[in-house]
Structure 1
Amino acid sequence: MTRAAPAGAGLDPAGLDPARLERWETHLKTRYLDTGILPNALTLVYHRGQVVHQRAQGLADVEAGTPLRDDHIFRIYSMTKPITSLAFMMLVEEGLSALSDPVSSVLPEWANLGVWTGGTHGSFSSAAPRRPMQMVDLLRHTSGLSYHIQQGGHLDGAYRDLGLGVKTTLPEFVAALAELPLEHEPGEHWHYSAATDVLSYVIERLSGQPFEDFVQERILTPLGMTDTGFHVPADKLDRFLPCYALTGQGRVLFDPTAGRFTRPPRFVSGGGGLVSTAADYLRLCRLFLRGGELDGTRLISPKTLELMTRNHLPGGADIARMALSPIAVSETSAAGVGFGLGFAVTLDPVRTLRAGNAGDYSWGGAAGTYFWVDPTEDLAVIFMTQLLLSPDRVRDDLRTFVYAALTDTPTRPRSLA
């Protein structure tokens, strides 16, 4: 569906031109849907307190011919990470931890982690780190950890061999990592990793309850995110999409039976385990736009949220300067983009070569989902699809078309200083 402008208005009162947003839908259809690259796409644009555009296109189930609807449930994968980061910062506000705390203060089994100096899985050598891994390192991906989805590093093969993040429980995952060295010195590089999954277990230890229960009781239920969770209940499976993958042979069906999402997972992943709808994720984005409060429920203070959405990379560096080369897997571009506590943060739109404002923050998921929040424009945009290895160009195109639809000059520029 599309929210139309008032009759005869020409321009939407929220400061966007609906005809220009329609250009996006046409571009999306001709370039990505009609060509068979994407199976489906849902775009939601929220500006100045209202949904000004929402459209579902394509087929939720290509084989069955089922049209995509606004209420379909998507695997959001790494768009789980901002929720986990929010959960941890809520505990920081309660005095249960601090960004400067060593991770080993909560996970004492990690007190003797070393940094890789040589060898392969089964014969690694390591040396003591120059400083302990801190909580802030888990949130900004400077921990030294790697990921089973990365390629080409010293450790990611061991992650795959051990089934980390796939076959283990969360406690087993953390215990296994204690036996492996770190890929690099904490704080030395930005390297997209399983750090947010470790943060899940830190939250579990600090709160004294299972991570999934904390998220449900302290975030999802208070925000009214009723279609978001770590699995899809049986009575909602008819709204859950298959997932596809883009390969050298084209688009293929990847997960026709919903796989692990039909039941509570063995591994509860704070890094990528949630499913959600566009409407639910909008509630989270609205919380962010409102400084941590929504419909009378405050989860976090405006100052803490401001801290989360600033660049935390050492020396004010961007990802391009800090990245452990090469970046095999990430959910953002690198030049002109920093990283906060759970989000990529635009530092300089000129260096990114894409539309936006300094201070807008974003993240995406492995199946092509993406969101960003722009406080300068009072704007939140959510994009949903279900295609692994989805082209990054889709996200850049979306930003181009949305910002091209803005009709007002922002009056509240945000300083990152």
Structure 2
Amino acid sequence: MFDNARLTRIADWMQGYVDGRRFAKASVLIAHQGREVYYHDCGHRNLATQTAWQRDTVARIYSMTKPVTSVALMQLVERGLFNLDTPVSEFIPEFSDMHALVPEAKSLDQTAPCAAPTLHQLLTHTSGLSYAFNPGLVGRAMMERRIEFRPSQGSLAEMCSKAASLPLAFAPGRRWEYSVGIDIIGRVVEVVTGKTLEQYFIQEIFEPLGMTETRFSVPKASSDRFAACYTPLAEGGFTTGRATHGADTLRLIDGSDASPFLAATLQSGGGGLVGTIDDYLKFTESLRTGGDGIIGPKTLKFMMRNHLRGEIADMGPSSFAEQPMEGMGFGIGGAVVLDPARARCPGHVGDFSWGGMASTFFWIDPVADLSVLFFTQLIPSSAYPARSELKALVHGAMT
């Protein structure tokens, strides 16, 4: 399956990023048919202390939380508690009286009434919601009002109410725009189950899979293994627009000893989890092998199909995304490769993947029976083309 000599190129590639001060650290883990075939790490989880980045390092996985939340929601769908066409307003009343910006709107008051987004639209980023780092009127308003779902911003219920107070960027179903929709889904899980999102994750996903180190707050027993996070930007890492690179390519943006992730108050289903690379492998392997008892295999196949009417690029996005838009569709909680050539990146049709703002990334290859994970801690994830480079390295090593 793999040429071991070609696999060693991955270590050289990673070391080049570390030596060039583009990443402070990195790790890659590859499993084939459930058996580990490659692991390598290099660099430092904290540059100030020169502590080595090791396999048990705890990292912020940001939007790699989204597939976990999506599985949680689909577990409830499997139990017949609701269907995906259910309006979110049935669970969160603040979304009952919705308005969307009219095309070419120049201000937030230029709106028309619209339906509340459905659960399916929230899961697939076609709801009309946005992100504070996206361009446009709604993204700018979210930034001004700090509707960001960060771990120190109160409760999930409060932040969902704030998100509902803004108009939608477009009428639900009209376009694709990367959004806080799966954060809202996290709140739906709480409302339906009567549990906090973390309580539900622990009971229904983490404990069954043996994921002991993935939580919304860094476990106290793991705090000495928590990584620092860096940015190459001068003005801050959370931006997808025009950004200025600073003189220091590894400027500290969130330390390991004073981070809001040490004691999170807001459990963000769209981006709040921290964990280890081995813990996340347990989750990706459960998806690759058909659910591992946490969800049905037919449900997983449904989730990993393209749920858009074409590729993401066909739906007029103006937002940031964690993946290419051409040649890519979107399923429930992750991207799906429709055409590797259109995506301009080696892969197989049906590859299911997503990444996080701190440049973490995973993909499941159902054709080659692979789970591949890349962990580092650099914001934003658009800083370097590491993800496409890694896919090329892995495919180049296949026999």
Shorter-chain TM-score tier: over 0.9
Q: Aligned equivalents of 2:164 and 2:354: distance in 1?
A: 28
User: Measured at CA, do residues 392 and 92 of structure 1 come closer, stay the same or move farther in structure 2, by a change above 3 Å?
Assistant: farther
- Judge conservation of contact 2:175–2:317 (CA < 8 Å) in 1: yes
Partner of 1:319: 312
Q: How far, CA to CA, are the matches of 1:189 and 1:342 in structure 2?
A: 17
Q: Residues of 2 paired with 1:382 and 1:254: CA distance?
A: 23
CA contact 1:240–1:258 (8 Å) conserved in 2: no
Q: Does 1:307 align with 2:302?
A: yes
**Mapped partners of 1:380, 1:347: distance in 2:** 18
Contact 1:141 1:192 in 2 (8 A): yes
Query: With structure 1 as the length reference, what TM-score do the two structures score?
Result: 0.88
- For residues 99-148 of structure 1, give each alpha carbon's deviation from its aligned partner in whole angstroms, at most 9, with x where no partner exists: 11111222233121111234546xx232112x441111011000000112
How many residues get paired?
Answer: 379
1:40 and 1:168 mapped to 2: Cα distance? 31
Instruction: Report what 2:182 is aligned to.
Output: 196
1:379, distance to aligned residue in structure 2 (A): 0.2
* Structure 1: runs of 5 or more not aligned: 1-14, 408-417
Choose the corresponding residue for 1:87, options 48, 62, 72.
72
Matches of 2:154 and 2:39, distance apart in 1? 39
C-alpha contact (below 8 Å) 2:129/2:168 kept by paired residues: yes
Deviation at 1:392, TM superposition (A): 4.3
The one-character-per-residue Cα deviations of 1:8-66 (angstroms, maximum 9, x if unpaired) are: xxxxxxx2112111012112212x11111111000000012200001111111112111
Partner of 1:75: 60
**Aligned-partner Cα distance in 2 for 1:377–1:398:** 16
Match of 1:155 in 2: 138
TM-score, structure 2 normalization: 0.92
Identify which of 351, 365, 379 aligns with 2:370. Answer: 379
1:255 Cα deviation after fit: 1.0
Asked if residue 56 in structure 1 is aligned to residue 27 in structure 2, the reply is: no
The answer (yes or no) to whether the contact 1:189–1:323 under 8 Å persists in 2 is yes
2-structure distance, mates of 1:258, 1:383: 25
Aligned to 1:331: 322
Alignment of 1:4-403 (within 5 A): 15-30=1-16, 32-117=17-102, 118=105, 120=107, 124-129=109-114, 131-150=115-134, 152-164=135-147, 165-166=149-150, 167-247=153-233, 248-249=245-246, 250-256=249-255, 257-263=257-263, 265-293=264-292, 298-313=293-308, 315=309, 317-325=310-318, 327=319, 329-390=320-381, 391-403=383-395
**Secondary structure at 1:372 match in 2:** strand
CA distances 1:348-395 after superposition (whole Å, capped 9, x unpaired): 011111110000110000011000001110001000001112434100
Residue 258 (structure 1) shift: 4.4
The answer as to whether partners of 2:213 and 2:219 remain within 8 angstroms in 1 is: no
Cα distance in structure 2, aligned partners of 1:77 and 1:331: 11
Give CA deviations for 1:76-119 in whole Å, capped at 9, x if unaligned: 00000000000000000011121111112222331211112345
SS of structure 1 residue aligned to 2:374? strand
The residue type paired with residue 303 of structure 1 is K
Q: Deviations over 1:278-320 (max 9, x none)?
A: 1000000110111001xxxx0111110001000001x2x1111
Report SS of the residue matched to 1:398.
helix
Contact 1:335–1:351 (CA under 8 A) maintained in structure 2? yes
Q: CA RMSD in A?
A: 1.3
Of structures 1 and 2, the larger Rg is shown by: 1
Say which SS state the counterpart of residue 128 (structure 1) adopts. strand
Task: Indicate conservation of the 8 Å contact 2:133/2:140, yes or no.
Answer: no
Give the direction of change, closer, same or farther, for the CA distance of 1:389–1:179 in structure 2 (3 Å limit).
closer
> What is the rounded CA distance, in whole Å, between the counterparts of 1:149 and 1:212 in structure 2?
26
What is the SS of the residue equivalent to 2:98?
coil
Q: What secondary structure sits across from 2:70 in the alignment?
A: helix
